[in-house]
C-alpha cells in the first residue's frame, strides 16, 4: 500500500503535530520552471524588497514559528527562538553578501572596448533541507537563491515538514510569486526524484556525508548543474594549557551538547594532555551532570531537548555500547530517562584505548575523550578524520594557536570559542567529507549565480590586416 501523506509527530511527546499530502515532484518542478524567468527579469531592487517583506512576515510570526520548530524537533523553545532570529537576519546578510560577492564591475579593456562583469541566475534550484535546523539551514540557501533570480523547489526533511511548510508559507505571504518557491512534501523517494530531475539546474544540499557522497556520484555526469554540499563533521576540540577549568568545561559542553549534539559543527572528540587532564575531566563530568534535559516548553528551561526520534536515540545508545565493548571507558553513561521517547542524557567516554576508533559522525550528545602525550600528537589526532568542518583550540598560549591554525585541516578553526555557533556573516564550509568546496552562509551568493564577462563596443568596426589576397 503506497504512502499518500507525511505525518509529523512531536518527538518529545509523540503527539501528532502536522500532516500533509505527498507532493508531485514533476508538477512542482514544472511550476517553478514556468515562473523563474519572470522573477529573474525583475530588477534586483524588487527582489530585495520582496525578501525584506519576507523578513517582516517571519518577524510577525516569530512565536508561532519558534513553537512549531521546538515541537517538531524537540529542541528547547529558547533555541527555536534563536533559530527564527537567524531566519530574519539572513535577509540583510544575504543582500550585503550578494552586493559584495556578485557585483557588476567594469574591467580594463583595449582602447575603445568596455569589459563588463555581471552575474546571472542558474534557473531552478532544488534545496534539500535537514531536520536539525529545519528553517535556518534551508533558508540559508533559499534567500540567496531567490535574491540572485532563481526559482526554488524546496524539500524539507520528512522528519520536519511542518517547519518547512511554514517557511514556504512566509515567502508566499510576503508576495514572492508562489511559482518561485515550491514545496515538496515526501520522503527519500521524493528527495531522490527531485535531485535527479532534468528540470532543475542545480541542487543545494545540507545533510549527512553518506547522502552527500551519493549526490556527488549522481551529479558526476551532469557538469552543467551546480551542486553545493554541506555535510557533517567528526569535529575535534583540543584543550591544552587551560588554567580556568570551569570556563574550559563550559566551552566543551556548549560545543558537544547544544542542540543535543545534533549540529554538524558539534564537537565529537575532546583531545587533552594525558599528564594534566584529570582536573579538567573532573570539572567536565561535574558540569555535564548538571545539564537539564527536557521537553521544549519545560520549566526551568532545559539546556537540551531530545534527539529527533527513537531510531536516532537507539543508534546512539548502540554506538556508545559499541565503544565500551572495544575498550572505551565511560566517564558519564548515556541514559534514556523517558521510556519510548528519544531523550538522552549527555555521554562522556574515554576512547584513548580503543584501537580503531570509528571515523563517523555520531549525531547526538556523545563526546569521545582522547588523551595524547604532546601538542604535536594533539594536532595529529585532530586531523585523524576524513571530515574537515570545524575545529577549536582551548588554550591560553597564543603560540599554540598559531601552530594549531596553521596545521588544522578544517574550514572553521576557532580559538577559545566553541566549535559550533558559526556566523552567517562569514563563509561556512569544510573540506574532506564535510563539503565539496562550495561554502555557504556569506559565500552562498557564489553558487547561486554564475559570472558573465562581456566585451562591448557601441558600433561594429573591424578589419583584417594580414592573410588576405588583394581584392
> Looking at the annotation, which residues are catalytic?
230, 264
Q: Which residues, at least 6 apart from 89, have a Cβ–Cβ distance to it below 8 Å?
A: 424
First to last CA, the chain: 80
What is the Cα–Cα distance from 442 to 428, expressed in whole angstroms? Answer: 7
Angle, CA of 150, 139 and 442, to the nearest 5°: 80
What is the Cα–Cα distance from 448 to 126, expressed in whole angstroms? Answer: 11
Q: What b-and-e string marks burial along 426-443, b requiring 16 or more CB atoms within 10 Å of the CB?
A: ebbbbbbbbbbebbbbbb
- CA distances 438 to 207, 312, 352, 411, 460, Å, are 14, 28, 34, 11, 40
Residue 230: which H helix or E strand, with range?
Answer: strand 226-230
What is the Cα–Cα distance from 306 to 338, expressed in whole angstroms? Answer: 10
Dihedrals phi, psi of 26, to nearest 5 degrees: -60, -45
Q: What b-and-e string marks burial along 306-320, b requiring 16 or more CB atoms within 10 Å of the CB?
A: bbbbeebbeebbebb
β strands within 256-358, DSSP E:
267-273, 329-332, 347-350
Cell digits of residue 312: 536516532
What is the Cα–Cα distance from 256 to 87, expressed in whole angstroms? Answer: 23
* Gyration radius (Cα) of the chain, Å: 25
CB atoms within 10 A of CB 5: 11
Bond into 34 cis (ω within 30): no
Dihedrals phi, psi of 398, to nearest 5 degrees: -65, -30
Amino acid at each position: 500500500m503506497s504512502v499518500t501523506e507525511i505525518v509529523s509527530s512531536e518527538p518529545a511527546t509523540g503527539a501528532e503535530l502536522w500532516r500533509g499530502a505527498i507532493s508531485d515532484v514533476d508538477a512542482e518542478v514544472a511550476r517553478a520552471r514556468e515562473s523563474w524567468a519572470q522573477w529573474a527579469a525583475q530588477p534586483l531592487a524588487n527582489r530585495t524588497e520582496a525578501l525584506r517583506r519576507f523578513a517582516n512576515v517571519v518577524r510577525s510570526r516569530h512565536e508561532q514559528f519558534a513553537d512549531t520548530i521546538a515541537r517538531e524537533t524537540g529542541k528547547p523553545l529558547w533555541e527555536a527562538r534563536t533559530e527564527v532570529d537567524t531566519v530574519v537576519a539572513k535577509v540583510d546578510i544575504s543582500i550585503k553578501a550578494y552586493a559584495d560577492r556578485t557585483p557588476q564591475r567594469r574591467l580594463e579593456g583595449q582602447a575603445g572596448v568596455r569589459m563588463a562583469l555581471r552575474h546571472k541566475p542558474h534557473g531552478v534550484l532544488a534545496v534539500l533541507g535537514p531536520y536539525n535546523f529545519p528553517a535556518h539551514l534551508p533558508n540559508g540557501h533559499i534567500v540567496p537563491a531567490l535574491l540572485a533570480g532563481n526559482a526554488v523547489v524546496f524539500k524539507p526533511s520528512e522528519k520536519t515538514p511542518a517547519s518547512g511548510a511554514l517557511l514556504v508559507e512566509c515567502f508566499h505571504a510576503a508576495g514572492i510569486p508562489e511559482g518561485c518557491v515550491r514545496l515538496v512534501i515526501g520522503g527519500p523517494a521524493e528527495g531522490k526524484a527531485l535531485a535527479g530531475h532534468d528540470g532543475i539546474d542545480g541542487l543545494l544540499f545540507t545533510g549527512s556525508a553518506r547522502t552527500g557522497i551519493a549526490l556527488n556520484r549522481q551529479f558526476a555526469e551532469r557538469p552543467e548543474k551546480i551542486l553545493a554540499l554541506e555535510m557533517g563533521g567528526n569535529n575535534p576540540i583540543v584543550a591544552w594549557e587551560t588554567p580556568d577549568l570551569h570556563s574550559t568545561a563550559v566551552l566543551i559542553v556548549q560545543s558537544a551538547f547544544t542542540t543535543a549534539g545534533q549540529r554538524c559543527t558539534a564537537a565529537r572528540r575532546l583531545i587533552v594532555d594525558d599528564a594534566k587532564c584529570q582536573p579538567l575531566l573532573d570539572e567536565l563530568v561535574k558540569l555535564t551532570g548538571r545539564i537539564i534535559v527536557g521537553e521544549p516548553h519545560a520549566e526551568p528551561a532545559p539546556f537540551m531537548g531530545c534527539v529527533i526520534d527513537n531510531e536516532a536515540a537507539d543508534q546512539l545508545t548502540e554506538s556508545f555500547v559499541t565503544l565500551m565493548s572495544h575498550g572505551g571507558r565511560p566517564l558519564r553513561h548515556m541514559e534514556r530517562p523517558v521510556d519510548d521517547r528519544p531523550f538522552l542524557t549527555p555521554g562522556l567516554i574515554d576512547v584513548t584505548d580503543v584501537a580503531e576508533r570509528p571515523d563517523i559522525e555520531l549525531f547526538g550528545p556523545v563526546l569521545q575523550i582522547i588523551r595524547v602525550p604532546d601538542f604535536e600528537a594533539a594536532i595529529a589526532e585532530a586531523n585523524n578524520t576524513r571530515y574537515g568542518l570545524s575545529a577549536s583550540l582551548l588554550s591560553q598560549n597564543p603560540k599554540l594557536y598559531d601552530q594549531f591554525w596553521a596545521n588544522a585541516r578544517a574550514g572553521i578553526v576557532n580559538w577559545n570559542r566553541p566549535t559550533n555557533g558559526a556566523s552567517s556573516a562569514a563563509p561556512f564550509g569544510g573540506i574532506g567529507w564535510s563539503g565539496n568546496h562550495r561554502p555557504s552562509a556569506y559565500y552562498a551568493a557564489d553558487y547561486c549565480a554564475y559570472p558573465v564577462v562581456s566585451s562591448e563596443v557601441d558600433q561594429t568596426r573591424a578589419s583584417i590586416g594580414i592573410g588576405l589576397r588583394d581584392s
